[in-house]
């Protein structure tokens, strides 16, 4: 479904990704592990078209998307839920969600159906639909960010650090919801510092260090890897 071959990306004059290659199959839930500064967010922004790779190729469902604009990548079926949520705090919950459907705004019936699906997934968002996004709790804001990313009906959802700054019970709920989203047919690529939780819900995983992939394998294998335990799980 998604394939990266020798992808190099820079921010300014600084190379962040130094030859990343990976593959994600349709229907998978795959996690990306790495410390702060490893390049996880840069990788996700590069896939989403927000950063253009200067070398290498990104393909989605057999089509090269490396040079496509972000809106065309969204229309192709890839949606990014960014680190830090990036909500519009003075807009209502509903208006934030509708911003996620901007590529589909002409199809009012389908947008309404998707909004209903998001509300079914996150009932609290329907309860607070007219409340300003900035007044929500951290966990509710993360639910809203994920809901907004789902409003374009992606086939591939990129989730960048969805548990960041959240209480353990909220993290558990978010991870359960990510599993539910995947069961509903959405392929998920999850970037997480909470390695134990991410590996528990994923089928496969990659480890990124200093902009390079250093490990990959089944989630169970990575969870049992001593280097991964010491570096990311704390064992």
Question: What does the alpha-carbon distance between residue 220 and residue 114 come to, in Å, rounded to a whole number?
Answer: 34
Query: Pick from 18, 69, 41: which is nearest to 159 by CA?
Result: 41
> What is the pLDDT of the chain when averaged over all its residues?
92
The CATH number of domain 2-77+154-233, selected from 3.20.20.140, 3.40.50.300, 1.20.58.1610, 3.20.180.10: 3.40.50.300
pLDDT at 89: 95
Nearby residues of 69 by Cβ (< 8 Å), 6 or more positions away: 49
Here the tokens at position 144 are 């809203």
Measured at the CA of 35, the angle between CA 33 and CA 36, to 5 degrees, comes to 125
Tens digits of per-residue pLDDT, 178-213? 999 999 999 999 998 888 889 999 999 999 999 999
CB 108 within 8 A of CB 102: no
For residue 84, name the pLDDT band (cuts at 50, 70, 90): confident
Measured at the CA of 233, the angle between CA 230 and CA 235, to 5 degrees, comes to 50
235, pLDDT greater than 60? no
What are the extents of the domains in the chain?
Answer: 2-77+154-233, 87-152
Top mean-pLDDT range of 11-15, 85-89, 164-168: 85-89
Question: What does the alpha-carbon distance between residue 34 and residue 53 come to, in Å, rounded to a whole number?
Answer: 20
pLDDT at 175: 92
pTM: 0.92
CB 117 within 8 A of CB 153: no
Q: How many CB atoms lie within 10 A of CB 96?
A: 25
The average pLDDT across 29-37 equals 92
pLDDT at 106: 80
Question: What does the alpha-carbon distance between residue 91 and residue 203 come to, in Å, rounded to a whole number?
Answer: 37
pLDDT at 234: 62
The average pLDDT across 32-61 equals 93
Separation of first and last alpha carbons in the chain: 34
């Amino acid at each position: 479904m998604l394939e990266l071959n020798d992808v190099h990306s820079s921010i300014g004059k600084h190379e962040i990704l130094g030859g990343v290659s990976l593959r994600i199959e349709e229907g998978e839930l795959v996690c990306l592990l790495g410390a702060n500064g490893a390049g996880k967010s840069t990788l996700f922004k590069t896939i989403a078209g927000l950063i253009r790779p200067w070398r290498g190729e990104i393909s989605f469902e057999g089509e090269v998307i490396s040079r496509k604009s972000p809106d065309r990548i969204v229309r192709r079926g890839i949606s990014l839920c960014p680190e830090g949520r990036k909500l519009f705090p003075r807009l209502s919950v509903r208006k934030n969600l509708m911003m996620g459907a901007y590529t589909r705004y002409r199809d009012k019936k389908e947008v309404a159906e998707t909004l209903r699906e998001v509300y079914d997934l996150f009932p609290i968002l329907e309860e607070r639909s007219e409340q300003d996004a900035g007044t929500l709790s951290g966990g509710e804001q993360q639910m809203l960010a994920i809901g907004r990313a789902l409003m374009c009906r992606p086939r591939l959802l990129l989730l960048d650090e969805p548990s960041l700054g959240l209480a353990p019970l909220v993290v558990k709920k978010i991870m359960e919801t990510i599993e539910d989203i995947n069961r509903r047919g959405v392929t998920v690529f999850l970037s997480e510092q909470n390695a134990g939780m991410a590996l528990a819900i994923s089928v496969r995983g990659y480890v990124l260090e200093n902009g390079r992939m250093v490990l990959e394998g089944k989630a169970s294998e990575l969870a049992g890897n001593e280097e991964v335990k010491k570096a990311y799980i704390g064992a």
